Amino acid sequence: MENKVKLELMSKSSNEAFARIAIAAFVSQLDPTIEEIADIKTAVSEAVTNCIIHAYEEKEGIIYVTCILKNREVTIEVQDNGIGIENIDMAKEPLYTSKPELERSGMGFTIIDSFMDEMKIESIVGMGTKVTMKKTIK
């Protein structure tokens, strides 16, 4: 079984809820548990919010969210053409945030890493960032 959906979103905070609900609805065809769906919703929300706050710094931009289902494995890619990440290892550190003045806690990547089975971050400064996350539905 293979299935795929692709969303293109304007970088607006009101789209955060739409993105996580749309992906959760798509994944629901695999009959996940309530906890698995909650984990996926949170991970999508973290990655999309990062595009809005960090990649585009609350300015205009497009966010691409792709979700692929292959047997019981869910792969979600969240991509932006924003400012990019200079030091990915540092960005992944729990509690590291470049925007403490916005009351950010620096836990987004740590949450994705722990709620999903796999997380991969690819980024080029000035070009953009792609976060790929995978989770197998039991």
Ligand X SMILES: Nc1ncnc2c1ncn2[C@@H]1O[C@H](COP(=O)(O)OP(=O)(O)OP(=O)(O)O)[C@@H](O)[C@H]1O
What are phi and psi for residue 130, nearest 5 degrees? -130, 125
What are phi and psi for residue 109, nearest 5 degrees? -65, -35
- β-bridge partners, 119: 133
Candidate list 23, 27, 32, 46; residue touching another protein; CB under 8 A: 46
Interface pattern 50-79 for another protein (x via CB under 8 A): --xx--------------------------
Q: Which residues bind ligand X (CB under 6 A)?
A: 46, 50-51, 54-55, 80, 82-85, 91, 96-99, 104-109, 129
Q: Is 81 in the site for another protein (CB under 8 A)?
A: no
Alpha carbon of residue 126 to chain centroid? 19
Tell me if 68 sits within 8 A of 2, measured CB to CB: yes
Q: Which of 16, 36, 46, 77 is catalytic?
A: 46
Q: What, of another protein, ligand X, Mg ion, none, does residue 80 touch, CB below 5 to 8 Å by kind? A: ligand X
CB of 138 to another protein, least distance (A): 17
Q: How many CA atoms lie within 13 A of 111 on its CB side?
A: 18
What are phi and psi for residue 16, nearest 5 degrees? -60, -50
Return the number of the residue (12 or 104) whose C-beta is nearest ligand X. Answer: 104
Q: What, of ligand X, Mg ion, another protein, none, does residue 71 touch, CB below 5 to 8 Å by kind? A: none
